[in-house]
Amino acid sequence: MHYILSDGNHREDLFPFTFTRPVADIRIGILTIHEKWEKWLDGSVSFLTEDYLSEKFPLKKSGKNMVINGSYLPDESLVEAIRKLKTGEALMKGEEYVAYVTTDPNIPFSGDDFAFVQYDSECLIIKNTWDIFAKNGEAMQADFDLITKGRKSQPISSTNQVLHKEHIFIEEGATVEFSILNASTGPIYIGKNAMVMEGCMIRGGFALCEGAIVKMGAKIYGPTTAGPGCKLGGEVNNSVLFANSNKGHDGFLGNSVLGEWCNIGADTNTSNLKNNYAEVRLWNYKTEGFAKTGLQFCGLMMGDHSKCGINVMFNTGTVVGVSANIFGDGFPRNFIPSFSWGGASGFTGFKPAKVFEVATAMMKRRNMEFTQTEANILEHVYEFTQKWRNY
């Protein structure tokens, strides 16, 4: 059996993050969705996604293939139900497939071709961008239990003040000194070779993934995730950074999601609550309108390779696309299309050639290469998102 993670039915609702990745490459909790499935299934997975993403996220298939909806997060009950499926059967949650077994994964799913098996248990599913931070605490606890089961944490330095030590796990090579770690409200996971500098105040749940850094004096409220290679500073509350993104200075980031290779300038602040305490609406690419979130707290959604300068102010519920560059005083509008350059005073286009120069320089600082594969993906996104730019 070969396991394949598909984009399911919610890819467009997860833009801008799924412009540059399959749904299953979204990070929530500690791991990405596909990393969760690989651990639960004890094997590798591949991706059934858009053609322009398939070079970076290839499809591998065999004579018998289990296609799993990448919006669903695994747990013991769900994995058990999936493993019981036979060829020609589909596990359904209402009218949506969770998984099915097929000899040809390239043929689009059709209910007429499968015998349905209903799955009635509760499970975590990511349908909207705001689910990534809203469900981060539940996903983090599940990942923490999975990753740390049967293992022993590295010792916690005596220079730290610690509450609920049993809910703190520090991987090999990580350093945490002269900080406050309060795991009473959720687990604290410090990944391999990660660093928490002196004077930090961390209230769980919190995940600092491999090689990530929390800078001196930071105030972190959970549930917050900093993916591999990220930098956190200032005040952060209930936010998710996928990988290699920086919010390293003073300023507030709350109820927000940043993709990969983002950078938040010093003293930039995000509003996560409207002055009138009303429900927050977020731009939806599929409907080309502002969707109700059902949330009172919702901050910034920023796609891969986007950046902002110092002292930028983001309104409650702002969506920034891929490879945008925002700067200047005043509040920019709360939907900023991909490949935009400017701020509250107006935007112009940010051409791919210039975007590639910035991406190459940023990735070089981490000893990583901006490849032609990455360039091809961004070129496609540039063309696809042109309809939302009038410049």
Task: Report DSSP letters for 201-245, one per residue.
Answer: EEESSEEE-TT-EE-TT-EEESSEEE-TT-EE-SEEES-EEEES-
In a domain, 126, yes or no: no
Please tell me the pTM assigned to this model: 0.96
- List C-alpha distances in Å: 37 to 74, 128, 209, 309, 378: 6, 20, 18, 37, 27
Q: Are 106 and 188 in the same domain?
A: no
Choosing from 54, 89, 118, the residue where a domain stops is 118
pLDDT at residue 233, as a whole number: 98
Q: Residue 148 in contact with residue 165, Cβ under 8 Å?
A: no
In a domain, 9, yes or no: yes
What whole-number distance in Å separates Cα of residue 90 and Cα of residue 308? 45
Taking alpha carbons only, the member of 71, 202, 188 closest to residue 140 is: 188
In a domain, 124, yes or no: no
Q: Are 142 and 101 in the same domain?
A: no
335: domain CATH number is 2.160.10.10
Q: Are 89 and 146 in the same domain?
A: no
Three-state SS for 345?
Answer: coil
Give the residue carrying structure tokens 């809203």: 134
Burial of 73 (0-12, 13-18, 19+ CB in 10 A): buried
Burial of 234 (0-12, 13-18, 19+ CB in 10 A): buried
- Work out the number of other CB atoms within 10 angstroms of the CB of residue 161: 11
The two three-digit tokens of residue 361, written as one number: 């320089």
In a domain, 218, yes or no: yes
Q: Are 91 and 238 in the same domain?
A: no
In a domain, 318, yes or no: yes
Q: Residue 268 in contact with residue 251, Cβ under 8 Å?
A: yes
How are the residues of the chain apportioned to helix, strand and coil, as percentages rounded to the nearest 5? 20, 30, 50
Torsion angles phi and psi, residue 114, rounded to 5: -135, 150
Which H helix or E strand runs over 180?
Answer: strand 180-182
One-letter identity of residue 301: M
Q: How far is CA 1 from the centre of its chain?
A: 28
The mean pLDDT value of the chain amounts to 97
Beta pairing partners, 253:
236
Choosing from 118, 147, 179, the residue where a domain stops is 118
Q: Are 193 and 334 in the same domain?
A: yes
Q: Which residues of the chain have pLDDT under 70?
A: none
pLDDT at residue 63, as a whole number: 87
Choosing from 118, 151, 174, the residue where a domain stops is 118
Chain segment 88-106, per-residue pLDDT in tens: 999 999 999 999 999 999 9
In a domain, 125, yes or no: no
Q: Are 201 and 342 in the same domain?
A: yes
pLDDT at residue 1, as a whole number: 87
* 59: containing domain: 2-118
What whole-number distance in Å separates Cα of residue 137 and Cα of residue 154? 23
Torsion angles phi and psi, residue 386, rounded to 5: -55, -30
Name the H helices within the chain. 33-41, 76-83, 131-134, 136-148, 352-365, 372-384
- Work out the number of other CB atoms within 10 angstroms of the CB of residue 360: 15
Q: Are 72 and 141 in the same domain?
A: no
Torsion angles phi and psi, residue 76, rounded to 5: -60, -45
Q: Residue 53 in contact with residue 86, Cβ under 8 Å?
A: no
